[in-house]
Amino acid sequence: MRDQRPSATTLRVLIADDNGDTREMYALYLNMVGYSVDTAEDGHEAILKARALRPDLVVMDLQMPKLDGWAAIRELQSRPETAAIPVIVLTGHDFKAYLKPAALAAGVVSYLMKPCFPEQLAREVGACLTAPRNRATSAL
């Protein structure tokens, strides 16, 4: 069977979540399956790290202190150096149908509801990184 693990040197994921345990759990699992993972504890830190590190994908919680996920996503989308980075929203809130157009316009390619198993996040990260950028995954 062929190894389907990503190359840690080429696929970098940034996880932004204010819950330290959640961040660590997802980071450890994604790292274990081969991704290079960086973390941020709020939207402001996520923007700074995304600009500096240029991750291949951002996993963004929506409700965070200092700067929430929506504001951080809009900021990333507004900057030429980060606008093309796909974003997976990870939220404990119901992702209503009326939010989907705004999410797509903001660069969101998928969303997952908390609680979310690390394996589920890893599958979605993999799907989003292999999907053509001009089409969102089925989760959105």
> Tokens in use for 111?
């969303």
Domains and CATH numbers, the chain: 12-130 (3.40.50.2300)
Is 27 in a helix, a strand, or coil? helix
Per-residue pLDDT tens digits for 45-75: 999 999 999 999 999 998 898 999 999 999 9
The pTM of this model reads 0.86
Per-residue pLDDT tens digits for 2-46: 444 555 457 999 999 999 999 999 999 999 999 999 999 999 999
**Do 109 and 130 touch, CB atoms closer than 8 A?**
no
Name the pLDDT band for 81 (thresholds 50, 70, 90).
very high
At 91 the pLDDT is 83
